[in-house]
Each structure stands twice: as structure tokens, then as C-alpha cells.
Amino acid sequence: MTKVSLNVKLLSHTIDPELTIALGGKLCYSKSEIDTLREDTKGNEDKFVGKLMSFGHLSPLEHASFTFGVQGVSRALLAQITRHRIASFSVQSQRYVTNDELTYIVPPSIAALGDEAVREFEAQMTTLHGFYSKWLEKGIPAEDARFVLPNAAETRMIFTMNVRELLHFFELRCCMRAQWEIRRLAWCMLAMVRREAPAIFNTKGTSCVSSVCSEGKMTCGRAREVCELDEQLTELVKNDASDEEIINWVNENIR
Ligand SMILES: Cc1cc2nc3c(=O)[nH]c(=O)nc-3n(C[C@H](O)[C@H](O)[C@H](O)COP(=O)(O)OP(=O)(O)OC[C@H]3O[C@@H](n4cnc5c(N)ncnc54)[C@H](O)[C@@H]3O)c2cc1C
């Protein structure tokens, strides 16, 4: 049995996402031919993208996409992230991939109880994996044996979101009211896209960072703290933090 933790990589994205979005927006308001549109737009794309977002012309944001590879996350996270219908997913199959040992995520609330609690959790994982192995040995197909596996079981996925969807995702999932695991993933993703497209993402995040808290009566009341954390994340990105440094910072600070 192996305990694993969050690993996120930005695998690829639209070449020059800010220019691509600016081109889409510019076309709407310009007499330029397609051949000259790029020359007319290049150099001003940062400002133009900002303008588009400020007056709510958001459909050009759909022209640029970002693809992430994620592992060390639980099936509990999978159930949440796949609710985002505009994203495209490829997820490691529990029908076609069987594991001799279970890799799993330990929730921080259990880890915080100390070594004994973690050992108890690990023993539970071992028991569940034992049930799974027994069903496989009896010839039950993996697609059915997996029914006894826990939500803590690790999954791996590659997914793509366009910029409009990413902004929506960050608004919901960088929020302190989102569940800790998807929230940590969202903060890592935010740092990684800020590195590539600052004009789009630098002032974006959850609603209390980009405008005002959208949670109404359910607000966590931590808006100031969240804004301070967001400033720290911006500094990290400015200082060319590696993926590993971003993930470590998120695990330590996004609680
Ligand atoms: C804190 C939190 C708690 C949650 N708790 C629960 C829970 O207890 N139970 C539960 O079931 N879910 C829960 N969810 C999931 C939530 O209900 C949404 O399914 C999830 O956040 C995806 O949001 P979305 O539909 O806005 O996003 P996406 O699917 O990414 O869609 C983006 C946007 O596109 C538009 N859109 C997409 N599809 C349609 C459509 N068919 N018709 C019209 N417009 C569309 C909407 O404007 C939508 O906001 C929770 C989410 C959060 C953040």
C-alpha cells in the first residue's frame, strides 16, 4: 500500500493564448482582413484581453485551452472535477488497469491526528485492497471488483479546459468553501496558468480575489486572508517557482 500526494503538470496550451483570444475579440470590432488582423493586434493583446474581460465579452476566451496532467488525487476529487461539463477528460480506467497494490490519498484531517491515526487509516486501506484482490482471484472482472475500493483510491487524469471554463472553475474551486483537495488542485492550476498568460489570469481567482465574495450568507469570512494568499501566489509565480515549489506552497498554505 502506498500513500501518494498531489502532482500537477501543465502539459500544453494554445500557442500564445493571449494573442489568440485578442484576435478573436479584435475581429468582432475591426474592418481588418484576416491576413492583417495579427499585425493589427500584436503588441496590444494584453490590453485588449483585459478590455474584453472588463466588458463581459467572454466568448473569445474559448479560443485558448490549457491541458493538465494530474495524479496523486482521489476518486473523491474525480467525482467533483468531472461535474465541470465544459472540460474534456481522460481518466485512468479501473476496468482496464488493475493494481497489485493500492495507492491512496490520506486526508489532512486524519494526518493531523498523528501517526497512530494514519496507521489505522492505512490498515483500513490494506483491508479494502485485500477484499478487492480476493474478488479478482475468484475471477470477478476488475470493473466489479473495484466496487469495494475506497474514495481514497488514487486516480490519474488528463483534462483540458478553455480559458472561459478555467475562470469559472477558479471562481468556484479556489474558494475556501470548496473541498480541500480540489481547492489545492485549483490553486496549483491557477499558478501554472498565471505563468503562461498573466494578462488573463493575474487578477483572476476565486470571487473575493477577482471582485467580491459570491457566497452571500455562506461566506467563509476569510476574504482578506485569501487575497493575501493570492498575493503570495503571484510572488511565487513572478519568482519563477518550479511546479514542485508551487505544489509544496499550496499544500502548506491552502487549508
Ligand atoms: C462548494 C461546492 C459545493 C458543491 N456541493 C455539491 C453537492 O452537494 N451536490 C452536487 O450535486 N453538486 C455539488 N457541487 C457541484 C456543483 O453543483 C456544480 O455541478 C459544479 O460546481 C460544476 O459547476 P457548473 O455547472 O457551474 O460548471 P460547468 O459544468 O463547468 O459549466 C460552466 C457553466 O456553463 C453553463 N452550463 C453548462 N452546462 C449547462 C447546461 N446544461 N445548461 C445551462 N447552462 C450550462 C453554466 O453557466 C455553468 O456555470 C458543489 C460545488 C461547489 C463549488
User: Could you tell me if the CB of 172 is within 6 A of ligand 1?
Assistant: yes
Query: For the whole model, what pTM was predicted?
Result: 0.96
Say how many Å lie between the CA of residue 195 and the centre of ligand 1.
27
Ligand 1 atom nearest to CA at 85 = 29
Catalytic site residue from 75, 146, 164, 173:
173
Q: Whose CA is nearest to atom 13 of ligand 1?
A: 80
pLDDT(1) > 90: no
Place of cell 494530474: 70
- What is the architecture of the domain spanning 7-90+155-253? 2-Layer Sandwich (3.30)
Every domain of the chain and the residues it spans: 7-90+155-253, 95-152
pLDDT digits (tens, 9 = 90+) for 19-72: 999 999 999 999 989 989 999 898 999 999 999 999 899 999 999 999 999 999
User: Could you tell me if the CB of 165 is within 6 A of ligand 1?
Assistant: yes
> Cβ distance 61 to 152 under 8 Å?
no
Residue 163 and residue 56: Cα distance in Å, rounded? 14
What local confidence, expressed as pLDDT, does residue 99 receive?
A: 84
User: Could you tell me if the CB of 236 is within 6 A of ligand 1?
Assistant: no
What local confidence, expressed as pLDDT, does residue 79 receive?
A: 98
What local confidence, expressed as pLDDT, does residue 35 receive?
A: 87
User: Could you tell me if the CB of 86 is within 6 A of ligand 1?
Assistant: yes
User: Could you tell me if the CB of 222 is within 6 A of ligand 1?
Assistant: no
What ranges make up the beta strands (E) of the chain? 2-3, 7-13, 65-74, 88-91, 103-104, 154-162
